[in-house]
Amino acid sequence: MDEYAGLIWDERAAKREEHPNCANDLADATLYAWRLCYSYLSVAVDPPPKVGSPEWHEQEEEQMLQAEIRRYHERREAEADSWGMTVEEYDWATWERT
């Protein structure tokens, strides 16, 4: 805020420019960040379905399924790390020996 308050305009310039002797690094950084904002390109997100509706139940079911799949894969990775093989590989190796 102090930098913005201390900026003065160069009266001799043909177009509106800050005076070259004023510190304006933070003001320029803000300007560059503002220029890189592409909010006009954003897409509106659909509102979530109403709680209790059939669409909401489908969404909940899909989220629960994906969470269970992730947990399954995490358990298999943990088993392979601790045993050196998965339960299925251990069962297969045991069955081959008999």
Q: Would you place residue 93 in the very low, low, confident or very high pLDDT band (cuts 50, 70, 90)?
A: low
Full-model pTM: 0.41
Beta strands in the chain (DSSP E): none
Q: Which residues contact 97 (CB under 8 A, 6 or more apart)?
A: none
Q: Which residues contact 74 (CB under 8 A, 6 or more apart)?
A: none
User: What's the CA angle centered on 40, arms 37 and 42, to 5 degrees?
Assistant: 95
50-92 pLDDT tens trace: 999 999 999 999 999 999 999 998 988 887 777 666 666 766 6
Q: Give me the residues paired with residue 9 across strands.
A: 18
- Sketch the domain layout of the chain as residue ranges: 2-41, 54-97
